């Protein structure tokens, strides 16, 4: 690689990170801003054509694994019915709808090729929607449904895509063969995921070293994906299963592992998502080069029709799939006594932004595939259109519908306060037992400090219900403690830095002390 190529390779990531930094500081949705920046930069960096292998092997596994670790197995289990209807039913329904629309618009295109396009653009990428949803305070159940959909819908879409591409290339696959392949890939992905999850969870617990554990976890998504794909089952499902299993058992790991894991995956998510959304916009120029000589008006008409089919098919599926089971099944009404709010249904119906997986699948189509340039263009239009039109209007829609999670936040704080009080009572009881036993001849001052810390943590949880203020708006004791302790820590840091600058303290010692002070300040956020 020449020096000029290396520089060009670094320019786009640097610009993308700068754009994401500005978006985060301003409170703007960074995925959408990155897509726009990519569209602007595309003519100036025409060599940035998306590599499908890069997306499916490098970007997709860690992003899925990180999302799975951060998800709640218990919450996903509670919403498994709507998640299954979206990640399996909706994907297949969208594949059929778009396939028939494209076949009607382009009768010369084989039906299997049209279904391939449907499978390509069927799975929404909920990264942008979930980022906005969490920032604007959507109810947890809605966020969980969107996250669950994004975790599993890629597996359905990619399996349907492979079957459709094979049929379009003349491999002679029947509907029975297609169904068999789909079930084998999905069930096999679950089995491989569970087996690897069980083994990997025990290996991680045996390591007992936070740095080594997190280094291994960085390799897990790639290894699991490749292992599953090697036996021709869904690597996406296997990675998600392993991530959910490891995340569910994370509380049993050491505190150092959890602290380091959170930081590692936040950085990885930020970097990968930044590059991914910038790459989406950068595909404008490579795709336009494929369309030389095509009728622009015909392409524009097809693009509008396919985009409308992608948006409307989601709404047509979501509304009946949520309400009809309640009407037809007494068991559903018994398990879910409260009907979903129509506002939440509207939000789920509109959260259909497509992402980089669709583009990667489109670029992975063989060069001799029927209608490949048109397929690439229509995929790009659906991805960009949903990201910009639905993505930019998503925050306004949430505000217009006046949806919030304030009641959930209050209930969470109330539950946490009760749990903190119970935990503090257990801690104090154990402390009294140790003192009564004379363990280590504990000094009275140490005992009082430990007792005060346990009581203060329980008190802080109750104070959080009032937002950190008392009944007349004054600072609570815990808020005063945090404010004063932060000032003390800042003063201490200045002394350590001054001693280092004067040559009286080694940098290694300074780093160790600063780490201790930083950790204490981090605990103040929860104390």
Q: Are residues 488 and 353 in the same domain?
A: no
The average confidence (pLDDT) of the chain is: 84
Name the residue range of residue 83's domain. 3-404
User: Is 480 a member of any domain?
Assistant: yes
The total of other beta-carbon atoms located within 10 Å of residue 106's CB is: 19
Would you give the DSSP letter of residue 497? H
pLDDT in tens, 48-69: 778 888 888 999 999 999 989 9
Query: What is the total count of domains within the chain?
Result: 3
Quickly state the pLDDT bin for 523 (edges 50, 70, 90). confident
Strands, E assignment, 356-404: none
What is the predicted pLDDT for the residue at 84? 93
Query: Which CATH number does the domain housing residue 304 bear?
Result: 1.20.1530.20
Q: Are residues 248 and 393 in the same domain?
A: yes
Q: Are residues 210 and 309 in the same domain?
A: yes
What is the predicted pLDDT for the residue at 439? 57
pLDDT in tens, 171-229: 766 777 878 888 899 999 999 999 999 999 999 888 888 899 999 999 999 999 999 99
Q: Are residues 522 and 427 in the same domain?
A: no
pLDDT in tens, 22-57: 988 887 878 889 999 999 988 887 777 788 888 889
Q: Are residues 453 and 350 in the same domain?
A: no
* Domain end position, chosen among 379, 404, 429: 404
Strand partners, 475: 469
**CA–CA separation, 337 vs 19, rounded Å?**
45
Which DSSP string corresponds to 82-132? HHHIIIIIIHHHHHHHHHHHHHHH-TTS-HHHHHHHHHHH-S--THHHHHH
Three-class DSSP category at 329: coil
What is the predicted pLDDT for the residue at 464? 61
Residue 354 · residue 124 · CB < 8 Å: yes
What is the predicted pLDDT for the residue at 91? 95
Element (H, E) at 426: helix 406-437
Ramachandran sector of residue 432 (left: φ over 0; alpha: ψ -120 to 50; beta: rest): alpha
Residue 378 · residue 303 · CB < 8 Å: yes
Q: Are residues 432 and 360 in the same domain?
A: no
User: Is 410 a member of any domain?
Assistant: no
Three-class DSSP category at 48: coil
Q: Does the structure show a pLDDT above 70 at 108? A: yes
More confident residue, 488 or 413: 488
Q: Are residues 385 and 341 in the same domain?
A: yes
Provide the CB-side half-sphere exposure for 299 (13 A, CA): 20
User: Is 172 a member of any domain?
Assistant: yes
pLDDT in tens, 67-85: 899 888 888 888 889 999 9
What is the predicted pLDDT for the residue at 416? 64
What is the predicted pLDDT for the residue at 376? 92
Provide the CB-side half-sphere exposure for 231 (13 A, CA): 16
User: Is 314 a member of any domain?
Assistant: yes
Q: Are residues 247 and 229 in the same domain?
A: yes
What is the predicted pLDDT for the residue at 5? 59
Average pLDDT estimate for 230-256: 89
Q: Are residues 268 and 379 in the same domain?
A: yes
- Least Cα distance to 97 among 382, 308, 320 occurs for 308
- Burial annotation 451-464 (CB, 10 A radius, 16+ → b, else e): beebeebbbbbbbb
* Domain end position, chosen among 376, 404, 432: 404
Helix axis angle, 372-385 relative to 356-363, nearest 10°? 180
User: Is 451 a member of any domain?
Assistant: yes
Average pLDDT estimate for 234-260: 87
**CA–CA separation, 359 vs 50, rounded Å?**
8
**CA–CA separation, 191 vs 299, rounded Å?**
43
Average pLDDT estimate for 154-168: 89
- Least Cα distance to 456 among 435, 473, 478 occurs for 478
What is the predicted pLDDT for the residue at 459? 67
Label each residue of 274-311 as H, E or C: HHHHHHHHHCHHHHHHHCCCCCHHHHHHHHHHHHHHHH
pLDDT in tens, 179-190: 888 889 999 999
Q: Are residues 370 and 510 in the same domain?
A: no
Q: Are residues 361 and 396 in the same domain?
A: yes
Residue 310 · residue 121 · CB < 8 Å: yes
User: Is 443 a member of any domain?
Assistant: yes
User: Is 26 a member of any domain?
Assistant: yes
- Least Cα distance to 170 among 233, 118, 110 occurs for 110
Q: Are residues 349 and 216 in the same domain?
A: yes
Quickly state the pLDDT bin for 368 (edges 50, 70, 90). confident
What is the predicted pLDDT for the residue at 434? 76
Residue 57 · residue 300 · CB < 8 Å: no
Residue 94 · residue 118 · CB < 8 Å: yes
User: Is 412 a member of any domain?
Assistant: no
pLDDT in tens, 285-315: 888 888 877 788 889 999 999 999 999 999 9
Q: Does the structure show a pLDDT above 60 at 269? A: yes
């Amino acid at each position: 690689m020449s020096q000029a190529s290396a520089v060009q390779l670094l320019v786009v990531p640097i610009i993308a990170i700068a754009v994401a930094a500005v978006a985060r500081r301003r409170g703007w949705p960074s995925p959408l801003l990155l897509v726009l920046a990519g569209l602007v930069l595309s003519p100036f960096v025409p060599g940035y054509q998306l590599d499908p292998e890069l997306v499916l092997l490098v970007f997709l596994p860690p992003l899925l694994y990180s999302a799975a670790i951060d998800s709640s197995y218990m919450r996903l289990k509670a919403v498994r019915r709507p998640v299954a209807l979206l990640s399996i039913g909706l994907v297949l329904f969208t594949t059929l709808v778009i396939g028939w629309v494209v076949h009607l618009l382009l009768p010369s295109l084989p039906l299997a090729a049209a279904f391939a396009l449907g499978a390509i653009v069927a799975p929404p990428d909920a990264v942008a929607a979930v980022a906005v949803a969490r920032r604007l305070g959507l109810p947890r159940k809605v966020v969980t449904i969107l996250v669950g959909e994004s975790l599993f819908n890629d597996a359905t879409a990619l399996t349907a895509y492979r079957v459709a591409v094979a049929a379009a290339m003349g491999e002679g696959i029947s509907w029975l063969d297609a169904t068999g392949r789909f079930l084998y890939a999905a069930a096999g992905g679950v089995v491989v995921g569970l087996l690897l999850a069980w083994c990997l969870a025990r290996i991680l617990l045996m390591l007992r070293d936070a740095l080594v554990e997190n280094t291994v976890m960085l390799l897990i998504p790639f290894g699991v994906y490749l292992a599953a794909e090697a036996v021709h089952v869904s690597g996406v499902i296997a990675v998600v299963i392993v991530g959910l299993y490891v995340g569910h058992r994370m509380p049993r790991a050491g505190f150092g592992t959890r602290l380091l894991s959170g930081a590692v995956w936040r950085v990885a998510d930020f970097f990968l998502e930044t590059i991914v959304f910038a790459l989406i916009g950068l595909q404008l120029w490579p795709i336009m080069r494929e369309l030389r000589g095509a009728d622009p008006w015909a392409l524009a008409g097809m693009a509008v029709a396919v985009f409308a089919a992608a948006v409307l098919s989601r709404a047509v599926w979501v509304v009946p799939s949520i309400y009809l089971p309640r009407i037809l099944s007494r068991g559903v009404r018994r398990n879910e006594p409260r009907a979903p709010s129509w506002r939440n249904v509207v939000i789920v119906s509109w959260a259909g932004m497509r992402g980089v997986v669709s583009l990667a699948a489109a670029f992975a189509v063989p060069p001799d595939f029927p209608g490949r340039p048109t397929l690439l263009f229509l995929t790009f239009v659906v991805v960009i259109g949903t990201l910009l039109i639905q993505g930019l209007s998503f925050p306004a829609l949430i505000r217009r519908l006046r949806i919030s999670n304030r009641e959930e936040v209050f209930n969470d704080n109330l539950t946490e306060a009760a749990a903190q009080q119970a935990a503090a009572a257990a801690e104090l009881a154990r402390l009294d037992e140790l003192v009564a036993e004379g363990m280590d001849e504990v000094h009275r001052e140490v005992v009082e400090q430990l007792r005060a810390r346990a009581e203060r943590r329980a008190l802080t949880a109750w104070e959080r219900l009032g937002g950190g203020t008392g009944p007349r708006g004054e600072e609570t004791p815990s808020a005063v403690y945090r404010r004063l302790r932060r000032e003390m820590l800042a003063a201490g840091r200045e002394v350590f830095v001054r001693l280092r600058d004067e040559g009286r303290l080694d940098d290694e010692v300074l780093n160790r002390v600063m780490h201790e002070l930083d950790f204490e300040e981090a605990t103040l956020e929860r104390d």
